[in-house]
Structure 1
Amino acid sequence: MNEELGTVQAALGARARLLQWADGGLVVDLLRAASGAGWLDLLTTPTTVEALAEAGGVSAERARRVVEVFVAAGVVRDGEGPAYVLTEEFAALNGAPAGVRLDDAIDMVTAARDRVRSALSPDVRRTWEQDALVVARNWGMLPAAATRAIFSMAYDAVPAYRDRLAAGGPLLDIGSGIGGALLTTLTMFPELRAVGVERAEDVVKELRERAEAAGVTSRLEIRCADAQEIDDEAAYEVAYWAQAFFPDDARAVTLEAARRALVPGGLLLVQELTPPAQDAPEARLHSALDALVADSRGVPPVRTAEELAAELRDGGFEDVEVTTTPIGRLVLGRRALD
């Protein structure tokens, strides 16, 4: 009897954990629906349940239930009187002042779910193409004042790299995405000229549109090409490699192409995308899921700054240094003086 009771209790505990995991996904789905119904825009200012109900075409009671979920999740808070308003964090995400958009984040979550669902399907190939634009939009930022302030903190931590940007470069940007880093950097340094390399055609199309909007097209060449095929020789003072989005079988060749493209003494900068996993169970789960999704896309799990430094040394770079900045750790390497 005691053994059977223990088994039932264990099963109930597992079920409770499963439901807890599901709660986050349900909130994301509800956020997508609320965004589509225009609720989040309404909630940028104090809004009543009745006004939300009318906008969504649902009953006041249903609207109240949804609001209760959002209050519990920290999406909205009490406003003035019987009204509600987005919390500061979600107001910023919905407003996207620097291009970090709620809808893009939700699309990224959906794409990750699709990857996880196919993780045990042997017929599913590891391809990056199917959600390349979704990933690029999630990581891309607009060249706004806030973004420039963030990048300024990073560049101030690597003054040798910053000074070459200020002097006009040129810069080789490898894996440009939709240009969050590239376009921001170009707007920060008016003398800088750059070449951006990105192989996903739909991503390149959006990159071109964003470059036009940023007013930097006269100083930027965009190539729709595989970075492994870069054939420039000693042409760039500095290079940035978005290494986190490159598969294992392309990394060594890409790194060699970058080294060749730099002038002797030229500098290559890479970034540790996220810090190493913490010991908390939630952090370990997040890290493990990130690694699984990355593997299903054909790219490696997150690499630490120390691992990146070793990779640059193996690729023939000298004076490799890891620098801690207010926005994460950077790794800088130098092409040898021939």
Structure 2
Amino acid sequence: MGFRPWRRPSQPILRRGSNEVLDLLERADEALWFAHALTACSEAGVVRHLESPSTLQDISKNLSLDPGLAAALVDVLVGAGLATCEDDSIRAAPALQPFTTEDGAKVLQAALQAPLLQVKDFRERLRDGRMALNGWTHTDEAIIEAQGALTRLWTAKALPKLKFLPGLVTCLERQGASLLDVGAGAAGLSITLCQAFPHLTATALEPAEHPAIIGERHVREAGLDGRIVLRRQRIEHIEDEEAFDLAFLPQMFLSDPAMSEAARRIFRSLRPGGWLLVAVLADEGHGIASSVNRLKNLLWGGHTRSMDSIKPHFVAAGFNPVIRAPGGRMLRMICARRPVSGRSP
């Protein structure tokens, strides 16, 4: 099915010269400024303005931006391959076009804000001596909303890949199809999947009060309150048996002691042949992306569990196969299936 093998990473190359440190600092400077410039393009309305072709003059006038600033922000989009500027006509690239609509622009803005707001919160808590490794405990509505928007983006991107899991799409298209969404937050995953599969219903677990309230509001606004139920419950406490065709587990929010029990409870809750998708941040790599992902995993409550250390929990629970799906630098996925025949161990 094109899935990656379980493998060990190579050691990083040790940096020897001070110029290499300066090079890293320059790259960090570029990445930080690009992230904030792209966020500025979103917040100032430049991205939204490109729903149809425009000119620098129109962007400057309609958004009350200094002409030089408008040109600089557009230049950032052009430099990133997100827009073109020819004969004074500025057009969004095909990749950016979905985010120029009213709804798309809101999702893009929130997704850009998610890492920026969380990094700011992390640094402030560390500086003020308030840093506690007690998981993802944000109560700031802006952070919760932004993380929910990011979840919707991840889910929409993953939808075409569900066809590679035998029997899953067929199950999700049937009457009575059911989803278990663990750690639902603002309910972005449940909403996106229910919109994609008209017969699907979802049970969304969110024990934290603030995200649950926001999630319930989003479900109502999406007109899905008859199909999505939010439970203020932890995965370790569910008693459902053979109730779901698909479960999603963002394990980076679970403590080490909770992992094995979560695996057993989810196995029992899935119908035979049902699939579990496990989101993973951390891996065994030694590069910058890997180390940053381990830091995020630690701050979010999942310590620094890697793909290899997670797999045994699901094998022991009875899942077969347990496979590593292709993934990007930031988010990876383990796919585990409850066998079509057989009961819980």
Assess if the C-alpha contact under 8 Å between 2:83 and 2:91 holds in 1: yes
One-letter code of the match for 2:235?
A
Residue in 1 aligned with 2:228? 220
The sequence identity of aligned pairs, in percent, is 16
How far does residue 269 in structure 1 lie from its aligned partner after superposition?
A: 1.0
Pairing 1:295–2:301 present: no
Residue in 2 aligned with 1:154? 162
Q: Separation in 1 of the partners of 2:105 and 2:66?
A: 34
Which residue among 214, 229, 237 is the counterpart of 1:229?
237
Pairing 1:286–2:289 present: yes
Closer, same or farther in 2 for the Cα pair 1:251/1:48, shift >3 Å? same
Matched residue SS, 1:88: coil
Which residue among 55, 59, 74 is the counterpart of 1:52?
59
Matched residue SS, 1:85: strand
How far does residue 177 in structure 1 lie from its aligned partner after superposition?
A: 3.2
Closer, same or farther in 2 for the Cα pair 1:320/1:63, shift >3 Å? closer
Which residue among 192, 207, 213 is the counterpart of 1:205?
213
Assess if the C-alpha contact under 8 Å between 1:237 and 1:266 holds in 2: no
TM-score of the superposition, structure 1-length normalised?
0.75
One-letter code of the match for 2:220?
E
Q: Separation in 1 of the partners of 2:68 and 2:200?
A: 57
Q: Separation in 2 of the partners of 1:23 and 1:87?
A: 22
Q: Separation in 2 of the partners of 1:160 and 1:33?
A: 40
Residue in 1 aligned with 2:9? none
CA RMSD in angstroms, aligned pairs only: 3.8
1:1-338 paired onto structure 2 within 5 Å? 10-11=17-18, 13-79=20-86, 81-95=87-101, 101-114=107-120, 117=123, 123-126=130-133, 127-130=135-138, 131-141=143-153, 147=156, 151=159, 153-155=161-163, 157-159=165-167, 162-163=170-171, 166-230=174-238, 232-234=239-241, 236-249=243-256, 250-262=258-270, 265=272, 267-273=274-280, 284-301=287-304, 303-304=306-307, 307-314=309-316, 316-322=317-323, 324=325, 330-334=335-339, 336-337=342-343
Closer, same or farther in 2 for the Cα pair 1:157/1:83, shift >3 Å? same
Q: Separation in 1 of the partners of 2:291 and 2:203?
A: 35
Assess if the C-alpha contact under 8 Å between 1:172 and 1:239 holds in 2: yes
Assess if the C-alpha contact under 8 Å between 2:314 and 2:322 holds in 1: no
1:93-146 residue CA offsets vs partner (Å, 9 max, x unmatched): 343877982212211220342266369656411241214443232112599xxx
Q: Separation in 1 of the partners of 2:145 and 2:55?
A: 36
Q: Separation in 2 of the partners of 1:100 and 1:62?
A: 22
Assess if the C-alpha contact under 8 Å between 1:174 and 1:198 holds in 2: yes
1:220-279 residue CA offsets vs partner (Å, 9 max, x unmatched): 32212222232x24251435032334323332232333344456x473512355796889
Residue in 2 aligned with 1:4? none
Matched residue SS, 1:57: coil
- Higher CA-based Rg: 1
Closer, same or farther in 2 for the Cα pair 1:210/1:158, shift >3 Å? farther
Q: Which runs of 5+ in 1 are unaligned?
A: 1-8
When structure 1 is superposed on structure 2, of 247-256 and 184-193 the one drifting more is: 184-193
TM-score of the superposition, structure 2-length normalised?
0.74
Q: Separation in 1 of the partners of 2:228 and 2:174?
A: 15
Closer, same or farther in 2 for the Cα pair 1:259/1:16, shift >3 Å? closer
One-letter code of the match for 1:216?
L
Assess if the C-alpha contact under 8 Å between 2:85 and 2:91 holds in 1: yes
